[in-house]
Amino acid sequence: MREVVLVYLDRSGGLQKFVHDCKKYNDSKQSYAVYRFIISINPSDVAELDATLGNYILHNPLQAAQIFQSVCFVAIKTLSLIEQLQTEAQISILLKPTHLPPFPSYVLSLSAYPFNYTSQRFYMSDGIVIAMGTVTKYTQGARFLCTEETCPFSEGFRCIRVHCPGATESATVRTDFVCSLCSSPLQEDMKFRVLGDKQIVEMIDAKILNALKGYSSDKSHVRIQAFTVFLR
């Protein structure tokens, strides 16, 4: 699948954009804990190249992002795109689909039962925004060092924490992380914390418009409830 990823990025223009994004990082001459890349994906085009990879992107996007991460790391090292990059863990890939298949199973509707949204895959959702919070910061990535000076993980970029979709802030930054090599406490290197913007939005199902129009249905009881969306 790594070969298919490289072929798709080359044909779609994604590889050229990736090289351009790498140039901006490299020109900054600043060493980052995490290098974040957003890659636009057309699931239909990927499925035509390789059905397995296309299905993987649609239904296991977090695992599919790891394949793209591996390919991007090899490309950076082979072409010497970012001199400061040391480990593959420093690369954060966000797959951004241009569209999803027009099937009901890809539509997230909180007004339809049952709620079988246990898989961490892509969904489409339509609604009306009824409230918006202020834009705040969240941690996209952080570098941790082992407190045991003789441990190999006490230097370099071996212990990297990267925010994953659906995770809370404490999953990325905490004070109780321990070294996987010697079990000593890990301490964050604050100089390398990477921040991003976060906004909380309250949405409500678009079917509320029917109630506002005075639309009457056969249902004796109707309950409308808002849901929260995190924009990162």
Domains defined along the chain, listed by start: 1-101 (3.30.1640), 136-196 (no CATH)
Which 3 state secondary structure label does DSSP give 42?
coil
175, two tokens: 């004070």
Query: Sign of the C-alpha dihedral, residues 45, 51, 54, 58?
Result: positive
Measured distance CA(91)–CA(85) in Å, rounded: 9
Tokens 């009881």 sit at which residue? 221
More confident of the two residues 183 and 108:
183
Token representation of residue 198: 């976060």
pLDDT at 215: 58
Task: Note the residue count of the chain.
Answer: 232
pLDDT at position 216 is: 58
Across the range 76-95, mean pLDDT stands at 93
Judged by average pLDDT, the poorest of 33-42, 51-60, 132-141, 212-221 is 212-221
Pick the residue with more confidence: 228 or 114?
228
pTM, to two decimals: 0.86
Q: What per-residue confidence (pLDDT) applies to 51? A: 93
pLDDT of residue 153 exceeding 90, the answer is yes
110 pLDDT above the threshold of 80: no
Of the listed ranges 47-56, 127-136, 166-175, the one predicted with least confidence: 166-175
Q: Given a cut of 80, is residue 192 above it in pLDDT?
A: yes
Distance CA 96, CA 41 (A): 6
Mean pLDDT (the chain, rounded): 89
More confident residue, 109 or 106: 106
Closest to 97 (Cα-Cα) out of 8, 2, 199: 8
Is the model more confident about 203 or about 209?
A: 203
Q: E strands within the chain? A: 35-41, 91-97, 127-132, 136-146, 159-162, 186-188, 194-205, 227-231
